[in-house]
Amino acid sequence: MVSGFRKLTVYRKAFDLAMEIFEITKKFPSQEKYELTDQIRRSSRAVCRAIGEGYRKRQYPKHFSSKMSDSDMENTETQVSLDFALNCGYVSEEEYKTLLEKSEEVGRLLHHMVENPEKYMPRS
């Protein structure tokens, strides 16, 4: 059974997005292996990591909000990498739009968490 941070909608959506990015980056040129491919994979995965870390500290609202903000920062970094992938011709316009829409949804969910940490406090 899924529990803890793994049950959060934002985590599931961010994880699915990171996996989609992983699959799409398999077709990136080999010269991008240590540049764009590595960067977009790391930033998309870091979104999930920060959600997990923040969830464990949710009894401290400021820390929780800070980690969700870190997650949102990584999400924005992923979007910038998607911009480069599109302009370099590594993803199609359709792939780009789909991934960007998913990333923006993750961003909206993270923003809600930053602004409303009390909704995620552990139950006493």
- Which pLDDT tens digit goes with each residue over 63-115? 999 999 999 999 999 999 999 999 999 999 999 999 999 999 999 999 999 99
Mean pLDDT computed over 41-55: 97
Angle at 27 between CA 21 and CA 28, to 5 degrees: 85
CA distance 30 to 46: 23
- 4 has a pLDDT exceeding 70: yes
Whether 19 shows a pLDDT value over 70: the answer reads: yes
This model's pTM is above 0.85: yes
Mean pLDDT to the nearest integer, 24-40: 95
Domain positions in the chain: 4-117
- pLDDT score for 5: 95
Give the fold, CATH level 3, of 4-117: de novo design (two linked rop proteins) (1.20.1440)
Q: Assess contact for 11 and 54: CB atoms under 8 A.
A: no
